[in-house]
Structure formats: C-alpha cells, structure tokens
Amino acid sequence: MLVMKLILDPGHGGKDSGAVGNGLQEKDLNFDLSKRIAAKLSAYDVDVTLTRNKDIYLDLSERCEIANSLRADYFCSIHTNSGGGSGYESYVYTGAREDTENIRSTIHNVVAGYYKKAGFADRGKKRANFAVLRDTDMPAILLENLFIDNKVDAGKLKEASFLDGLADAISKGLVESLRISLIRQPEKSPVKIAAAAKPLQASAFLSSKNPQAPDYVNIYVLMEKKYGIRWDAVFAQSCKETAFWRFGGSVKPGQNNFAGLATFDGKPGASFATPAEGIEAQFQHWHVYYYGGNLPDGVKNLDPRRDAVLKTGWAGTLQYVEDLGGRWAPSKEYGSSIINDYLKPMMNIKIDQWDPAFEIAKLKRDGLINSDHQPGDTVTWGELATVLNRMRGK
Ligand SMILES: [Zn+2]
C-alpha cells in the first residue's frame, strides 16, 4: 500500500502575521505547532509535508495547489483564533462530504479532550466556506487553537509544554482518524530469555579471535539460570570488554574483571578472586539493570557498582541488550555493538555436532595433550591414563 500523504498547513506567514495579541503573532504559533506535530508523526507511517517550512507568505490558492499537486490524502490547516472569545473549534467545508465529517469528528473529539483537561471550552464542530477547505481536492480540516487576543488563552499558548501536549493530541487525532500505523521499530534483543548461541559457537568464536584465550564459556552457561539473563549476550560483552581476553586496556588479566567493572575515570577497576567470581559479578551487574534491587535468594553481592546503578533510577527498567547503550557505558551504541559486532558473528559460526579436530585443538590448547595426534589415531590405556591424570591436576 502507498504511504498516506498528509499536508500540514501553518496558517499565514511572511508579511501576513495573522492575528496578533498579548505579544504573540499567529503565524509563529501556527508554525511552531505544525513543526511539533510533524515531529510527533515522524514515528508513524505517514508522509508529512508542510505548506511552508519557514516564515514566508503564501496565498490561499498556493496552499491548495501544493496539496493538490502532491495528490495528498488529507489536509490539516493550523490556525489561532481572535476577535473575542476563548477555547477551541474546528472547521470543515460547508459542503463537506460524510467521510470528511467523520474524520473531522474523530480529530475534533481527541483535541477537545485535551483542551477540556486544560480548562478550555469546546466551541464546537463548525462549517465554513474557507478557501483552503473548499479548493483542496482531499478531505480537509482547519483547527482554531484558542484566542490570541484573550489573556488566559494567550498565556497557555506561551507555554512550550502546553503546545507540545497539544501537538500530541492533534497527532493522536490524525493517527486515529486516518488509521495511520506506527513505523515498525528495528528488532531488538531481549535479555530475559535463553541464549540463542550454542556453547561450542562461543568457544569457537573466541578461539578464532584469540587462540590463547582461556575458555570460561561453561561458567557463563551456568549463570544463565541463576540470574535469568541470557549467557551469550554476557559472554559477547566480555569479548568486547577484554578484546577477546587480550586485555590491553587499564584492566589486567589477573583481576578476573571481564566487563570493565568500576574502570571509569581512569581507575584500574575491580578485582575478583577467581574467574567464576568475576563472571558472577558481571551477571549481577546485568541483574540490577534488568531486574532491579533484589538479588536471587541466598546470593551475596559481588558487584562493586551495584549501588551506583540503583541510584541512577535505571535499575530494573531495561529490557533489551541494546538498552545498555548510554547506561553501562556512555556510548549509545554500546548495547547494539555487543549484538552486531560480537553476538551475531558468534552465532554465524557453523559447528558440526561432531568435530574431532576442533576438540583435539582444544585439548592441546589446555595442555592436556601435546603431541600430534590425528582424529583417526587409536589411543592406548597409557595415553588415556596420562590425559586423565593431567585433568586431575587442573
Ligand atoms: Zn488564522
């Protein structure tokens, strides 16, 4: 389906200031409000065009011509009233068809609801022989937003927060009456689900980037259930923070700090007794962001930055990995980088269910076997006993 085309028409402009009063000019208010509406509608599946993008004069036929030549689907003219009175009213053409009246009715009611809450009168759904309503080829509405020459009305029109709320209401009315849908947001990665990557993929990904890296994948896997956080995202974060366990930043490998905990302002960062403790502290730091103040039963706090998160007001409010951006680290792209630069490539690694060469390479790396065994070689009892005793010694 084609995207709906909507024309917003900020009334007056340039040499034509429109109505004036209480230090306000109508052309400025109309323009300010129209820009706010256009901004709100940018989240929706609608193509918005303003008849004027700056303070210039357009006559009424030019405004209609813009809408007609674009074959717009709807025309919405924004004005401010004057001449003694207070409140809000809307107009359609005297000879408006039923669909034009129906759309107007929905918009009018939503906007009138906003005015009512602010204490302003609904002056009604009116009809008039205005050029922009008559000479536009599509259904059209004209909104008169309060009276510029009324002190109380003008006072409200000077409040940015009031205009912003009004823009919200008008956008909502347009969205509802014209059945405009939200633009689909880019897909995000939930945290409180089971990991999508397989442990072997994580190990293979890590050793492909740094063959010397220690393999703590099993520790990450074990923490998933305890903290209700997908281990693959936490592991991907460690790959990012440690440069695949090459370190090289201010944190040293012996600190067992794989997520840069407490490394802000040039500080060396936290240290943990064992890799397992460091990884658990990392899960706890995720936990406070995604679940809030209560650790799972019987768990003691290992995270030195827990209170800092609790103070931010973000505790327990995050949902997606992408939400870490601007929170865990200053960069807004921090979370999406964990996904796009680490987790996705990890998940793209193809793992055969049975990969003897990979398994042998792993044992060699960990010092459990050290000769050039081939996947097809037979093993003697003496060799098996040696491997088992080396494992016992680990
Ligand atoms: Zn006007």
Q: What is the reported pLDDT for 299?
A: 93
Q: List the catalytic residue out of 144, 224, 241, 280.
A: 144
For 63-72, how does the pLDDT look when each residue is reduced to its tens digit (9 = 90+)?
999 999 999 9
Q: What is the reported pLDDT for 379?
A: 87
For 36-60, how does the pLDDT look when each residue is reduced to its tens digit (9 = 90+)?
999 999 989 999 999 999 999 999 9
What integer is the mean pLDDT of 358-384?
Answer: 81
Q: What distance in angstroms lies between residue 131's CA and the mean position of ligand 1's atoms? A: 12
Q: What is the reported pLDDT for 157?
A: 97
- Is the confidence at residue 1, as pLDDT, over 70? no
Distances (CA, A) of 7 to 69, 140, 381, 390: 11, 9, 83, 76
Q: What is the reported pLDDT for 100?
A: 97
What integer is the mean pLDDT of 209-222?
Answer: 94
- Name the residue ranges covered by the structural domains of the chain: 4-177, 199-205+212-351, 356-394
Amino acid at 259: A
For 260-275, how does the pLDDT look when each residue is reduced to its tens digit (9 = 90+)?
898 877 777 899 999 9
What integer is the mean pLDDT of 160-174?
Answer: 96
For 330-367, how does the pLDDT look when each residue is reduced to its tens digit (9 = 90+)?
899 999 999 999 999 999 998 876 777 777 877 887 78
CATH match of 4-177 with 3.40.630.40: yes
For 230-267, how does the pLDDT look when each residue is reduced to its tens digit (9 = 90+)?
999 999 999 999 999 999 888 889 999 999 898 877 77
Q: What distance in angstroms lies between residue 43's CA and the mean position of ligand 1's atoms? A: 28
- Is the confidence at residue 103, as pLDDT, over 80? yes
Distance CA 50, CA 73 (A): 14
Report DSSP letters for 103-141, one per residue. HHHHHHHHHHHHHHHTT--EEEEEEE--HHHHS-SS-EE
> Scanning the structure block, which residue is given the tokens 């040499």?
15
Q: What is the reported pLDDT for 218?
A: 95
Q: CATH second-level architecture of 199-205+212-351? A: Orthogonal Bundle (1.10)
Q: What distance in angstroms lies between residue 96's CA and the mean position of ligand 1's atoms? A: 20
For 274-296, how does the pLDDT look when each residue is reduced to its tens digit (9 = 90+)?
999 999 999 999 999 999 988 99
Q: What distance in angstroms lies between residue 315's CA and the mean position of ligand 1's atoms? A: 48
Q: What is the reported pLDDT for 361?
A: 79
Burial of 20 (0-12, 13-18, 19+ CB in 10 A): middle
In 8-55, which residue ranges form alpha helices assigned H by DSSP?
A: 26-41
Q: What distance in angstroms lies between residue 99's CA and the mean position of ligand 1's atoms? A: 25
Q: What is the reported pLDDT for 353?
A: 66
Q: What is the reported pLDDT for 351?
A: 80
Q: What distance in angstroms lies between residue 113's CA and the mean position of ligand 1's atoms? A: 22
Give catalytic status of residue 144 as yes or no: yes
Q: What is the reported pLDDT for 267?
A: 76
Q: What is the reported pLDDT for 391?
A: 86
Strands (E) across 129-173 are located at: 140-147
Q: What distance in angstroms lies between residue 143's CA and the mean position of ligand 1's atoms? A: 9
Distance CA 369, CA 360 (A): 8
Q: What distance in angstroms lies between residue 19's CA and the mean position of ligand 1's atoms? A: 6
For 74-83, how does the pLDDT look when each residue is reduced to its tens digit (9 = 90+)?
999 999 999 9
Q: What distance in angstroms lies between residue 85's CA and the mean position of ligand 1's atoms? A: 15
Q: What is the reported pLDDT for 186?
A: 74
Distance CA 283, CA 223 (A): 7
Q: Taking the alpha carbons of 327, 332, 336, 338 in that order, is the dihedral positive or negative?
A: negative
Q: What distance in angstroms lies between residue 109's CA and the mean position of ligand 1's atoms? A: 21
Of all residues in the chain, what percent carry a pLDDT higher than 70? 98
Q: What distance in angstroms lies between residue 55's CA and the mean position of ligand 1's atoms? A: 14
Question: How far from chain centre, in Å, is Cα 92?
Answer: 38
For 178-208, how does the pLDDT look when each residue is reduced to its tens digit (9 = 90+)?
999 988 777 899 999 999 999 999 999 999 9
Q: What is the reported pLDDT for 287?
A: 97
Distance CA 334, CA 320 (A): 12
Residue 394 pLDDT level (bands cut at 50, 70, 90): low
Distance CA 231, CA 47 (A): 42
